[in-house]
Chains A and B, each alone.
Chain A
Amino acid sequence: MAQTYARGPIGQSTLRVEDDPLLKGLGAFVDDVAPPKNTLHLGFVRSPHAHARICSIDTSAAKRLPGVVDVLTGRDLVDLMKPIQVDPDKPGFKITHRLAVTIDKARFVGDTVAVVVAENPYIADDAVEAVAVEYEALPAVVSLDASLAPGAPKIHDYIADNVIYENEQKTEGFDAVFTAAPHKFVRTFRTSRIAVASMEARGCIAIFERGLGTLTFWTSTQVPHIVRHALSEMLGLSDSKIRVIAPDVGGGFGMKAYLYPEELVAAALAIKYRGSFKWVQDRVDDFLTSNHARDQQYKMSYAVSAEGIIKAIRADILVNIGAYASFPMGSSLEANGGPRNMPGPYDFAQFAFRTRAVATNTCPTGAFRGVSAPSTFFSVEGMMDTIAKELGLDPVELRRRNLVTKFPYTNAMGQRYDTGSNGECLDRALELSGYVAYRRSQPASRLLDGKYRGIGVATVTEQTGQGASRYKERGLYRVPGFDAALIKIEPSGKVSAFVSQAAQGQGHLTTWSQIVAQELGVVPSDVTVIQGDTATVPFGSGTFASRGAILAGGAIIRATKIIRDKVKRIAASVLEASATDIEVADGYAFVAGVPKMRVALSDIASIAYSLDARLIPEGEEHGLEAIAHYDPPTSTVSNATHVAFVAVDPATGAIEVERYVVVHDCGRVINPMIVDGQVHGAISNGLGQVLSEALIYDESGQLTTTTLLDYHLPTALDMPTIQMEHMETPSEITLGGFKGVGEGGVIGAVPALAGAVRDALSPLGIEIIRLPLDPPYVLSMIEAAKAKRTN
């Protein structure tokens, strides 16, 4: 904590500027954007089979429907676009191709077989029904086990074992240390497949402007620049002729950090027909085709000393990647996310892992808030609870013995933690939650008022703000990694900030305006943030992976510094002082110590834009703007402790979260209210994953949970009040000292809630190794345990 920061807009709970239009119903989500006259609507014919050869497609009946403009199959589209190809030609990777509309085979229920073009979405639905496809059903594989079984059907002909990506590493001397340790523990954890289910599903409008030969592409995305580049590459239209706009986006959570086949098709048809095309997804289609997440299995082997000190960890990780690798994150994202996060807040030197991404006849999976980390910490913290229990230690005590508390620290994966507050966070969380007292009063039976009650503690880390080098190392070439900001003090003295990212509700407009305001000595309300439009904002990566504050913040700080220096030089010339003596605050540049010798920023802007009697000083360029990029050298690590209190009803198996405490450290906090909001929302995502959410494929590969009646999202009734505190340990690596925060809540909530249930049911000898803990499953475990005990 070497650096101290001046007070100013940063750190204030500034109310969000995003809210006013959203509260007035003036938001503009994709379906709210008025498309041009004569826009045509797309419908996608989805395969009803998980795995089937396509024998024939009869489009004639559909084409005859009034209002149907065209019906196209994969063959009609194959010349319009390149296949989606993402993974690099590097060891461990298998290069796969995906056709936006498949030609030979359907590989999951929802794979696209044909596209209809109609005058309105109703007719499009009619036409989709009228397309007659003849399939030859093939045996489908759905689960990891089935896919890896010898002789399993192949998803892609060119991948013999269905393993798309594989990575195996071991630290030097691992075997000896592992063998030598006195205690060994092995458990296998599984997390269910879940859906992002953003409240706004996907959608896009592709508008080809015939006169200019340009494509304007509105899409509900987190990564407009990546989408633009991908469209350019796959459709062969110069990226200078493509404008991608992410308007208001109704939730993304990682799922919208991808380019989807529907987007490619809409854009390709707009170019082909020189017209406008729109598609807005419905909820069933979202469940079927928007990337799923976290269908993972972790086999964890721990070697531990007699004192409970972790000596070595071995992990064997399997990720069900679904039918295809998705653009731009590819097949390795989730598989590598496990080992990358696994060292977490604990100090150990020996680590071995093998991780594999396995193809199945299911919807592709990808990033969802936290990527693999919630599953990883479900497994890691599950092991900590298990080991503590086996060794007769309090779970907190075991954690405390293993926590990294001295910084900087480099973990077994080589990741450097510059600063952190693992111990402090834990202490404060225990204090706030009354952990010691709770344990002291806790009955051994865990039964209180007819329910099993338990407490779970999770200490977690969150890797945030990764830059280009990290993505290149990971083989994610399609993710630039850097972000950029173009800041302008406009002629009026007000400020515009164009940031390369695109928000989905995080409050970018507010937080960025605070940073800009702080750095330029103005008030946030004088700053307008522009984002989400490739035409106006500089190139960059986008918003995902808890990178917003770090990447955008860093770019803003760098750009504003350039401007501030220029302001000082111009002010120095006006005030006949030295630039080194000039300070900038409250909308003025003034001579340090002589606040009356000052010149307003608006006057400096007038001079810079040549709208003043005074000419810009000799040698100075016109304008008052700067663009800067920021590419952090490594990941930055946030840390947190979550404490959850639950009650399990033995009669129904229902779990109630009774209390929840978080102490969190994401470095320097820009807007505490917004950070709180991020943590709250993420905890609810974690709570859903632990308690209720699961996408269920039957054995034939049919998805049985395709509505919000079948797929259970948490409601206000499910969420406890959350008691939260921030610790601020600024990063020494990042500009501004920021660390990321978007995903941490899920990462902590999953192990804390699972741990609390584990604690509540510990007298029954139940092990919590699988999610979700839905009532039937919990009840079945309780009944099985009781039955075992009575036997």
Chain B
Amino acid sequence: MKPAKFTYYAPETVAEIIALLGRYGDDARPLAGGQSLVPLMNMRVARPAVLVDLNRCKALDAVSDDDGTLVLGPMVRQSGGERSELVRRLCPLLAQTLRFTGPRAVRNRATIGGSLAHADPVAELPGAALALDATFVIEGANGRRTLKPDAFFVGQLTTAIEPGEFLREIRIPKAAANTVSAFIESGARQEGVAIGGVAAQITLAGEVCQDIRLAAIGVGSGPVRLTATERTLLGRKLSEALITEAAKAAEDDVDPTTDLHATAHYRKRLTVALAERAIKQALAGPRTN
């Protein structure tokens, strides 16, 4: 398990990054935290001819509040994001999700942008991004374009980022007042790689569900929105019984496949259980101001 040879660049500006990505096109891969890419390179499953290391570019790891939108540079480290006061305040679900993205040593290095761009179907952040209705800013030689999650996540390990482009920014709308959220997941052991997980963000008016976004992971080629459950709950008072019933509807939203870690049937069952728990856990937590 040693990576194949590659040409290495460590540009310090965005312009250089774009120039390099443009020059090498399909041969180049941006290197963010590397926590998913380098294992694949070690196994020689991934073997980019050119690696453009984003870690030296200072402009990419900023967290800011752009008038009510949380703006994240792609190189914000996952452990840094979790600790960020701004993230916690504007976007509690993201902070909650970041606790689950891996062991501390991995999160110290792994980036928010890297995980989103990697688009692993069992990764937590794409689920959160979907629930948060994040906007993905992609930049390349032809300038910037923005995509919503449904357009960004194309398939397993595939996003809409084209050769020559990279994920330049993630923009997440600030959670509205009276919003609650939770992320939970479950795996084959007490913690670790998830089999499935659910991110929930609910905005309440009193006890009534005013807005709700639920996203499940591990049940498709990318994160899946649990629209049937959402529909059942939207505009209604969230009683325990209603939540249980609504969660059952999640079965209709997902169409998972069987793999090493679980059967399709199990994944459906798990999604239902986690949806119920995520909603209940969110409701048990504090509301945003």
A and B, direct touch (CB closer than 8 Å): no
Query: A residues near B, CB below 8 A?
Result: none
